[in-house]
C-alpha cells in the first residue's frame, strides 16, 4: 500500500510514496524540517532514502534546489553505512562531491540508492545515485569518518 500525500493548492500533484518505503525516523531537526523522508532496504541489502518533491524543495526556477538533493544523498549514504554496521557506529561526512545529471519534477518521488565501496577502520567510501522513477538525476561520492556510537 502506498502513501498518498496532498499537494498545496496550485502545486503539481504529488506522486504516491512507493509501498516498499517506510517513514524515516530521525532526530535531526534539519532533516525533519526538509522531510518527511522514507527509507527502504534494497535487494542487495543496502539501505536508501526517498522523499516527495514538494514546493518547499524548489528554487526560484521552480525546479528542485540542489541542496535538497545533496541533503538526501548525504543522509542516505550515512544511513547506509550505519545500517551496514548493524547500528553500532556513527558516520561524519568528510567530503561530498556531486554531479547534477537531470531534472526531477515537482511532485516526483525521488530516491537515493547508495553503493558502499569500502569501509575501513576509520574511513568509508561510498557513492550514491538519486533517481526519479528510472531516470538518474544526481550522483554523489562521499568520504565518511567512522566513530563509535555514543549513548
Residue pLDDT, tens place only, 58-96: 889 988 998 899 999 999 999 999 888 877 788 899 999
In a domain, 1, yes or no: no
In a domain, 58, yes or no: yes
| CATH number of the CATH domain containing 29 | 3.10.129.10
This prediction has a pTM of: 0.84
In a domain, 17, yes or no: no
Write down the pLDDT at residue 96: 97
- The distance of Cα 112 from the centroid of its chain, to the nearest Å, equals 5
How far apart are alpha carbons 4 and 16 in whole angstroms? 5
Domain that holds residue 129: 22-148
Query: Mean of the pLDDT values across residues 109-131?
Result: 96
CA distances from 121 to 91, 94, 126, 146 (A): 12, 15, 15, 7
In a domain, 86, yes or no: yes
- Considering its fold, how many domains does the chain have in total? 1
The DSSP call for residue 1 is -
Average pLDDT of the chain to the nearest whole number = 86
Highest mean pLDDT among 11-15, 23-27, 74-78: 74-78
pLDDT exceeds 60 at position 3: no
Amino acid at each position: 500500500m502506498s502513501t498518498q500525500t496532498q499537494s498545496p493548492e496550485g502545486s503539481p500533484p504529488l506522486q504516491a510514496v512507493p509501498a516498499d518505503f517506510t517513514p524515516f525516523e530521525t532526530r535531526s531537526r534539519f532533516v525533519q524540517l526538509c522531510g518527511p523522508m522514507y527509507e527502504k532496504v534494497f535487494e542487495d541489502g543496502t539501505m536508501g532514502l526517498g522523499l516527495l518533491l514538494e514546493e518547499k524543495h524548489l528554487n526560484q526556477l521552480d525546479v528542485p534546489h540542489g541542496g535538497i538533493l545533496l541533503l538526501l544523498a548525504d543522509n542516505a549514504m550515512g544511513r547506509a553505512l550505519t545500517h551496514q554496521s548493524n547500528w553500532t557506529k556513527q558516520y561524519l561526512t568528510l567530503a561530498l562531491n556531486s554531479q547534477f545529471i537531470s531534472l526531477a519534477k515537482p511532485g516526483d518521488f525521488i530516491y537515493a540508492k547508495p553503493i558502499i565501496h569500502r569501509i575501513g577502520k576509520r574511513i568509508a567510501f561510498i557513492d550514491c545515485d538519486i533517481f526519479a522513477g528510472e531516470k538518474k538525476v544526481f550522483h554523489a561520492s562521499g568520504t565518511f569518518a567512522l566513530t563509535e556510537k555514543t549513548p
